[in-house]
Amino acid sequence: MCGIAGIVNFQDKTLVREKYLQKVKNMTETLKFRGPDAEGFFCENNIFLGHRRLSIIDPENGKQPMTREFEGFKYTIVYNGELYNTLEIRTEIESHGFVQTMNCDTETLLLGYICFGEKILDKIIGIFAFAIYDEKHKKVFLARDNFGVKPLYYAQVGKSLIFASEQKSILASKMIKAQIDKTGLQEMFSLCPIKTEGITLFKNIFELKGGEMAEFEKNGLRKKIYYKISAKPHTDSKRKTIKKVRKLIVNSIKSQLVSDVGFCTFLSGGLDSSIITAIASKELKKNNKTLSTYSIDFENNDKYFKKSLFQPNADVDFVKIMVKKYRTNHEYFMLGSKKSLCDSLVEAVIARDSPGMADIDSSLLLFCKEIKKNFTVALSGECADEIFCGYPWFWKEDLINKDFFPFIEEKNEKLSILKKEFIDKIKPAEYARRRYIETLRDTPLLNNESNKEKKLKQIQFLSIKSFMQNLLERKDKMSMRASLEVRVPFCDRRIVDYVYNIPFEWKLLNGREKGLMRKAVRGLLPKCIVTRKKSPYPKTQDPEYFNVVVKELKRRLKLEDCKLTEFLDLKKLYKLISSPLDISKPWLGQLMSRPQLIAHLIQIDEWFRQYNVEIVL
């Protein structure tokens, strides 16, 4: 994977070349973690492009920015991603007379654009964010993959378009200030770390949505959705459906095992990571190679772990079963110090450019750094729960019938500690409900579906468009901060397009979460793994962690420049943190309960400090 950056202006003839090239160099420098292996720049006709490279495929070639000429016009690309059907695309473009000179997918994508224009987006399968300077049509073409696995942010300042893989890169251009307005505050206190597609906490910095493309030319920016989930009648029999789901999963995983630098897998002993591990292990063994696997846990979790609806069992026993079955080279990463987990909250904010999932982020960051010591590519099981219905809100009646985001408590502890006058000013609850209704309204539905089927489809669409986006951002930002590429095979549009339209009675086959998926992979895994209840990414269960983050939050609240005091009712906050600790009921998703709320507040304070954010209301 890589990092991209650029400044484009088709109108102003007075731009100083050296000045704007330096701006792009400053932007690109902030992306060095995303691409530590090389950097490159392009400067021509007020087009300033920058690139940082993490070498995965064809390390000797594929340097960027990459330029190819066709019919007297130049086309230059900066690209962050991986294509999983490169050979298929290469064969097609070669049939049109194009000749590829190297093995990297960057050249395949660029030649594909020259050959097919924007229609190349309908052909490629992968995760990507890229920009192409098209000299013939005097425009810059930008696009992001179907579900937004790879990030792409932009801002418009005067007649210039600024874009980059991270928000900090846009700020590094010094062409836009770090500010937060009413919308940003509403996002921060009603939804964050869940976010509304297309916007960020920073005023005037936006993101290209998953499945969205854009063209910037003399007349300005034009955006267009090139991909969206659609509702279609499902006509396959149950038997054929199960067979096809298995084939789609296996093919997607196999297609993502291509790497010139080796790869490993995350292994929790859960269904999703175990499927990836089983298939990857079998493929490597064909070449007499052994798969390496990694898992994470926390010191004292064996002592403090308690079963709950959201975390029914611990991982360790199931990991051992998988390691023994597939004889992988396995490493356990035991995160010990509560203080290091708390201290890493700061770097997690910097990695994400926003307050996030607190220690759920920071522990993943530390985990990815550990993996990076030996590998540059890993595969992980994100997105299977949203696509195959693994969460409690797909089967628990009170969550199904909830008239709000099923993964957010509408009247949660985060809202309960805000000052009344601040609530009156930004109306966070009303904002969250508006965003909920907007997403609900966009859900693809069929007219002849039952009310329950429609409701479950709405829940699935909410999960894909909101909850999954948060997890994908978390995985990308934490892993790339460690210069580790993490691939997510379940987030494949061929899988999503097919599974979305399967009846929920089949998706929840035998009354089980991910029932269809379990049936489809029978025989690939030990039975105890296939039947294991859904258990999410682990977090520390040690109550001492709560004391650590409370102490740090109190320290910050005493500082004169602490922004939190402008938003929080300190009396309510101190009452909350002094009351008996209840870690069993999360306020967001399955993992964020009271310790994570306190850590999240620390991250909010750190975000204002790191970026020197100005509040503009």
pLDDT single digits (tens) 304-330: 766 665 566 778 899 999 999 999 999
What average pLDDT does the segment 436-447 reach?
Answer: 96
Give yes or no: residues 215 and 333 share one domain. Answer: no
> What Rg value do the Cα atoms of the chain yield, rounded?
24
Give yes or no: residues 162 and 206 share one domain. Answer: yes
Q: What share of the chain is helix, strand, coil (3-state, %, to 5)?
A: 45, 20, 40
Domain of residue 361, CATH code:
3.40.50.620
Q: Of 489, 506, 530, which residue constitutes the final position of a domain?
A: 530
pLDDT of residue 13: 81
pLDDT single digits (tens) 347-390: 999 999 999 999 999 999 999 999 999 999 999 999 999 999 99
DSSP letter, residue 220? E
Indicate the average pLDDT of the chain.
94
What average pLDDT does the segment 211-222 reach?
Answer: 97
Give yes or no: residues 146 and 272 share one domain. Answer: no
Give yes or no: residues 212 and 251 share one domain. Answer: no
- Residue 474 scores a pLDDT above 60: yes
Nearest Cα to Cα of residue 42 among 65, 24, 23, 62 = 65
Rounded distance between C-alpha atoms, residue 506 and residue 320, angstroms: 31
The vertex-199 CA angle with 196 and 200, nearest 5°, equals 100
Give yes or no: residues 203 and 268 share one domain. Answer: no
Is residue 429 situated within a structural domain? no
What average pLDDT does the segment 283-310 reach?
Answer: 85
What average pLDDT does the segment 249-276 reach?
Answer: 95
Percentage of the residues of the chain whose pLDDT score is greater than 90 = 85
DSSP secondary structure of 412-468: -HHHHTB-HHHHHHH-HHHHHHHHHHHHHHT----TT--HHHHHHHHHHHHIIIIIH
Does residue 193 have a cis bond before it (omega within 30 degrees)? Answer: yes
Give yes or no: residues 349 and 482 share one domain. Answer: yes
What average pLDDT does the segment 390-407 reach?
Answer: 94
- Residue 212 scores a pLDDT above 60: yes
Give yes or no: residues 350 and 459 share one domain. Answer: yes
One-letter identity of residue 240: K
Q: Of 505, 530, 555, which residue constitutes the final position of a domain?
A: 530
What are the residue numbers of the active site? 2
Beta bridge partners of 408: 588
Rounded distance between C-alpha atoms, residue 522 and residue 543, angstroms: 39
Nearest Cα to Cα of residue 590 among 439, 419, 390 = 390
The pTM of this model reads: 0.96
Where are the strands (E) in 485-617, listed by range?
Answer: 485-487, 614-615
pLDDT band at residue 579 using 50, 70 and 90 as cut-offs:
confident
Lowest-confidence region among 60-64, 99-103, 162-166, 287-291 = 60-64
Give yes or no: residues 249 and 160 share one domain. Answer: no
3-state secondary structure 535-553: CCCCCCCCHHHHHHHHHHH
Give yes or no: residues 133 and 61 share one domain. Answer: yes
Give yes or no: residues 163 and 246 share one domain. Answer: no
- Residue 584 scores a pLDDT above 60: no
| Structural domain range at position 259 | 238-413+445-530
Domains held by the chain: number = 2
Give yes or no: residues 200 and 81 share one domain. Answer: yes
- Residue 299 scores a pLDDT above 90: no
Q: Of 511, 530, 549, which residue constitutes the final position of a domain?
A: 530
- Residue 257 scores a pLDDT above 70: yes
C-alpha distance from residue 563 to each of 285, 534, 559, 607 (Å): 55, 39, 9, 10
Domain of residue 93, CATH code:
3.60.20.10
One-letter identity of residue 456: L
Give yes or no: residues 279 and 345 share one domain. Answer: yes
pLDDT of residue 389: 97
